Amino acid sequence: MKRSMHEAIADTLGVPLERAAYLDDTGHMSGVDPLLALDRAVRDGDVRDGDLVLLLAAGTGYTWAASVIRWGTAPGGAD
C-alpha cells in the first residue's frame, strides 16, 4: 500500500511508526510482505519472546488478511 495509507492505519491502531514496518526498499509482494517484515524485525531484535505481533497483508484484488501472534516459546516450554 502507499505510504500515506500505511501511516493512516498505524495512526488509527495507535502504533508508533517506528514499530511498523514499511517495505519501501522491496516494493509490494502481496502476502509475503508481513513475513519479510517479521523476519527483519526478529533479526533486528525488535521482536522478543512474549511480544504480541500483528501481521497485515494485502494481496491481489480484494484479498486482505490479518493475524495476531504471541512470539516465542509456548507456555510450559513446549515448542
Among the listed ranges 1-5, 52-56, 68-72, which one has the minimum average pLDDT value? Answer: 1-5
pLDDT range class, residue 3, cuts 50, 70, 90: confident
Q: For residue 78, is it within any domain?
A: no
Continuous segment of H or E residues that includes residue 42: helix 33-43
Q: Point out which residues pair with 20 in neighbouring strands.
A: none
Spatial distance between the Cα atoms of 4 and 12, rounded to a whole number of angstroms: 12
Q: For residue 56, is it within any domain?
A: yes
Show the domain range for 29. Answer: 3-71
Q: Collapse the DSSP code of 65 into the 3-class scheme (helix H, G, I; strand E, B; otherwise coil) and give the result.
A: strand
Task: Please tell me which residue, 1 or 45, carries the higher pLDDT value.
Answer: 45
pLDDT, tens only, 32-50: 888 999 999 999 999 999 9
Spatial distance between the Cα atoms of 59 and 31, rounded to a whole number of angstroms: 6
Spatial distance between the Cα atoms of 68 and 13, rounded to a whole number of angstroms: 13
CATH number at residue 41: 3.40.47.10
Judged against a pLDDT cut of 70, whether residue 67 lies above it is answered with yes
Q: How many domains, in total, are found in the chain?
A: 1
